[in-house]
Amino acid sequence: QLQLQESGPGLVKPSETLSLMCSVSGGSISSSSYYWGWIRQPPGKGLEWIGRIYYTGTTDYNPSLKSRVTISADKSKNQLSLKLTSVTAADTAIYYCARPNSYSNYAMDVWGQGTTVTVSS
């Protein structure tokens, strides 16, 4: 059974870089035809798609974050990573990794439990 687990620092200072990992078990991030993605949710608010990475390494990002975000994959560790530079309080959120299923119209059928990141000095 595919499982995703996010990890990373819960507190980041303004202007610094937020770095998160997503460990994948029960499946391989190298599986053909699959994307992997990141989504975030500010406290008490809705969901915002951050971006996705294809098994080939191709990435797509939300234009609102594109200048600051990098999503990458470490196939040897079966992990995804998210880096967001120059963070501000507006980046405070729960960050989720998820798998968009190409066989289900790219609906995100597997989610991690989320990790809370607070941006504060």
Is residue 99 a contact partner of residue 37, using CB atoms and an 8 Å limit?
A: yes
Between residues 16 and 59, which has the closer beta carbon with respect to other proteins?
Answer: 59
DSSP code string of 77-114? TTEEEEEE-S--GGG-EEEEEEEEEGGGTTEEEEE---
Binding map of other proteins across residues 28-47, x = CB under 8 A, - = no contact: ------------------xx
Q: Of residues 77-96, which lie at the interface with other proteins (CB under 8 A)?
A: 96
Residue 55 as a binder of other proteins (CB under 8 A): the answer is: no
Distance CA 2, CA 13 (A): 33
In the complex, which residues of this chain contact other proteins (CB under 8 A)? Answer: 46-49, 52, 60-64, 96, 98, 100-101, 104-109, 111-114
